[in-house]
Chain A
Amino acid sequence: MIETILYDGLAFALPLLVIAIGGIFSERSGIINLALEGLLGFGAFTGAFMVVMAGNLFPASQPAGIYIGMFFAMVGGALFAMIHGLLCVHFKANQVISGVVINILSVSLTAFLTRQLNALLFNQASNRFQLGVANRFTLPLLSDIPVLGAIFTKVYPFQVVILLVVGLAYLVFEKTPFGMHLKASGDNPHAVEAAGVNVNRIRFAAVVISGALAGLGGISFAYSISANFNPMIYMGYGYLAIAALIFGNWKILNTFFAVLFFGFARSAGYELAKALEMSSTFNDIIMTLPYVLTLIILVFFSKQNAAPRALGEIYDKGKR
């Protein structure tokens, strides 16, 4: 039972992590990103659509299909994030409003496009793209370790990709000049500009990266939880990722622990319900767990957290 909690918890936590890291990129550069929900949805939509299109060559639940889905989910998320970037960086829109607008646009646009494309290309009236659940694999030797072996048991292919991407994102964020400029843009954009770096370009790039990462997380949820792309992808996971990054104080490592906490709380809840042989209506109560925990955690951590200093401020070169 502990093993189930561990591997199911990880399967939920890792997509959440990559979405939250997307949020960190954007917010540390100074752009509030409430659009994560919409970005993960649009990314999942794009990925799922390409998987279905390539379905004849590469079956949806085979590895090749999954990698195609992940790649295009990142592309779709990045493209959609450009709207948020344009609105916030170039059109000087209110970043909170822009984020919510992107979410509403994403919900209505993907609902429209899924129905339209299904009717047009496959001649069926459906609001979903069927993917199937990705095959999980178990590493032979490592999985035999007691308890901790669960980490190497029933692993989804996307978890490996996410770990690689997260590692890369961490290096970019902490070790490259781009990462330094990005963090400085969120704290003191004028100093960055004085050093000869274009703040607007850095911020736009950060938002686009956050879209790509959110898209990767989105398609992973589509491949594990729902087994298809449908409007139910908008379950509030983007907002959960935001809560995780606030809980993690806008730092990648702390956020990693936050998502692990969410993931294990969720899988432990399901296991508990199973163990107590409760009927499936009780699933609704368990589903509230991550959200209740988020609220409680925020009560304790919101006071002393240190948001990037220039977060949400519209950057105006002329202003000092």
Chain B
Amino acid sequence: MPRLRLKVLGNENWQWISIPLLSVFFAILTGSAVVLLMGKSPVDTYLGILQGAGFVPKANYAGGTGMLTDFMSFLDAMAPMLFAALGVTVAFKAGLFNIGISGQMLAGGFLATVLIGYSDLPWMLAKPLVLVIAGTAGALAGGFIGYLKYRFNINEVVSSIMTNYILAYLISFIINTAYVNPVSRQSEYINPSAALTIKGVSVASVKVNLSIGIILALLAAILLHYLINKTRLGFEIKAVGANRKGAQYAGINIGRTMVTAMMISGALAGLAGATFYLGYFTSIQPGVLSGLGFNAIATSLLGNISPLGVILSSILITILDKGATFMSSKVGVVKEISGVITSLILLFSAMGAYFRYLIAKKQPEYESGGEEEAHK
């Protein structure tokens, strides 16, 4: 058995997929144990989650909706997750931990909402402007954190958290004084012409929400893959992330590279905010940072901190998130279970380095003739 395990996990060519799959497997196993303890069926639970996300047909649908409705809504929810996880990924590559994604999302979403969302601009102008403004706002918020790190040596985790709360409270104050809808206690809804999701389109006799964001997010993933692996900037970012002193010795301007990486990261977060607050939702709840910005860390880690890997992990994490409500109503397991499973995936992913270390340590023993067998 250990031999087989090593054969599967020890092959370095496959570790990019085998170790994340192992993390997911352990998390789903632990989640099943919890569900069993609650006296419910794990199969029903996971099936319910898949049904809620539009991957497996439900028993019946309300009039005008179908599996496609759920699936398109899943894509709509996946767009901000993919953008946010890409943002985490760029920062990781530069050796920085951007936990300020939520705040940068809010900054981008809020500015775009206020400047464009309430205007009467035609859609050809409004939609691109939403993207530009949200991306710029996010880039500035992210770059600020990079600058503090480079100029004043402030730990980026602490400064991102501080900016998260400052932005959340500040924006909450502005919304509550100027843009609040007295009934929903959220910001006023934006004009449909500025929205990045086209709601209620009829396709094959069911109504669906068409997400523009998901196409952009997939494009961004491919662009980022190219940027990181094929350009000089990408090389510099990776060099700074791998060994700051070595990069400096090689003549790379560390400060500029770190700030640039954080600006790209923030811009992606801003776009996540645009697709979240002006796409999946069309208003902002004051004083609340979206949990999505934190789950994006799990998504990035699970996707091996690579732009293309993150596409796969975004699908998985969004399924867990999106399917939970339907599963909860159908199976009766509280929907918070999916958050627990997501964080378990994160927990096991964090141990990925240890799995690798263990495998690397064990491998020679087996290759040199299985001493462990001889001991038994």
Contact = CB atoms under 8 A, between A and B. Distances in A.
Contacts of B176: 281, 284
B357 A302 contact: no
A78 to B, nearest CB: 18
B351 A246 contact: no
B169 interface: yes
A96 B38 contact: no
Interface of A: 34, 83, 87, 91-94, 96-98, 100-101, 104-105, 107-109, 111-112, 115-116, 119, 235-236, 239, 242-243, 246, 281-282, 284-285, 287-288, 291-292, 294-295, 298-299, 302-303
B173 A299 contact: no
Interface string B246-277: 00000000000000000000000000000000
A98 B350 contact: yes
B287 A108 contact: no
Given A92-B357, A107-B291, A108-B336, 9 more contacts: A98-B350, A111-B336, A235-B165, A239-B161, A243-B158, A243-B162, A284-B169, A294-B162, A295-B159
Contacts of A285: 169-170, 173
Interface of B: 38, 97, 99, 148, 152-155, 157-159, 161-166, 169-170, 172-173, 176-177, 287, 291, 294-295, 297-298, 301, 334, 336-337, 339-340, 342-344, 346-347, 350-351, 353-354, 357
Contacts of A104: 294-295, 297-298, 342-343, 346
A101 B340 contact: no
A112 B340 contact: yes
A96 B170 contact: no
Please provide the 5 A-B residue pairs with the shortest distance between their CB atoms, ordered closest to farther: A108-B339, A112-B336, A284-B173, A91-B354, A105-B343
A246 B173 contact: no
What DSSP secondary structure best describes chain A's contact surface? helix
Given A108-B342, A288-B165, A101 B350 contact: yes
Q: Is the interface of B mostly helix, strand, loop or mixed?
A: helix
Contacts of B297: 100, 104
Contact of B169 (A91, A100, A111, A287): A287
B346 A105 contact: yes
A115 B340 contact: no
Nearest to A111: B336
A246 B155 contact: yes
